[in-house]
Amino acid sequence: MGTPPEVAIAFLPLVLPVAAWAAWSDLARMTIPNRAVLALIAVFAAGGLLLTALGAWSLADWAGRAAHLPVVLLVGLALHAAGQAGAGDAKLAAVAAPFVAAGDLGAVLRLLLTVLLVAWALHRLARRTVGPRLAPGWASWAPGPRFPMGIVLSATLVAYLALAALG
């Protein structure tokens, strides 16, 4: 992985609760709170600058990764305008992008696809079985084509950082 293990280890405990919040909110309400998106930006900005001050990361690496955010946001907004993605999904993907090394894009897309397939299958199974009894009122249980991608994006980011932490 292109993300140094020490950087991934530092980010992982900070990203995990925000990712869980975004995933839970998307499952329960089919929305990703803007505060979760802002929290993830804050983790990258403050954590990244602290890591540069500690010498674990260079300022060039941090700034280069920050440039991923507007690129992914533009792609996400284009998908949203075409009706292919939710606005919250576009924002969450954009703020997750700086955590990923550009050289790891292929690996992350494969990881995203794997997480998507597993999450979709488990969500559909839960929706048809015990899910509505365990979490009544969750918006994601409603029939229809909508799927809470926040869980996929969050799980992919956490899995990527965990793999990077392993070196």
- Residue 79, C-beta contacts closer than 8 angstroms, at least 6 positions apart: 85, 90
How many other C-beta atoms can be found within 10 angstroms of the C-beta atom of residue 135?
14
Q: What is the DSSP string of 2-21?
A: -S-HHHHHHHHHHHHHHHHH
pLDDT digits (tens, 9 = 90+) for 91-112: 999 999 999 999 999 999 999 9
Query: Range of 17's domain?
Result: 5-166
The pLDDT tens digits of the residues spanning 35-64 come to 999 999 999 999 999 999 988 889 999 999
What pLDDT, on a 0 to 100 scale, did the predictor assign at position 145?
80
Instruction: Name the least confident of 82-86, 141-145, 161-165.
Output: 141-145
Domain count, the chain: 1
Summary mean pLDDT of the chain = 94
Tokens 């992982």, residue located: 12
Q: How far apart are the first and last CA of the chain?
A: 7
Position 120 confidence tier, pLDDT thresholds 50, 70, 90: very high
Classify 55 in phi/psi space as left (phi over 0), alpha (psi -120 to 50) or beta: left
What is the C-alpha to C-alpha distance for residues 48 and 99, in angstroms, rounded to an integer? Answer: 9
Cα 31 to its chain centre, rounded Å, is: 14
H or E, element range at 121: helix 105-128
Please write the tens of the pLDDT for every residue from 8-31.
999 999 999 999 999 999 999 999
Does this model's pTM top 0.85? My answer is: yes
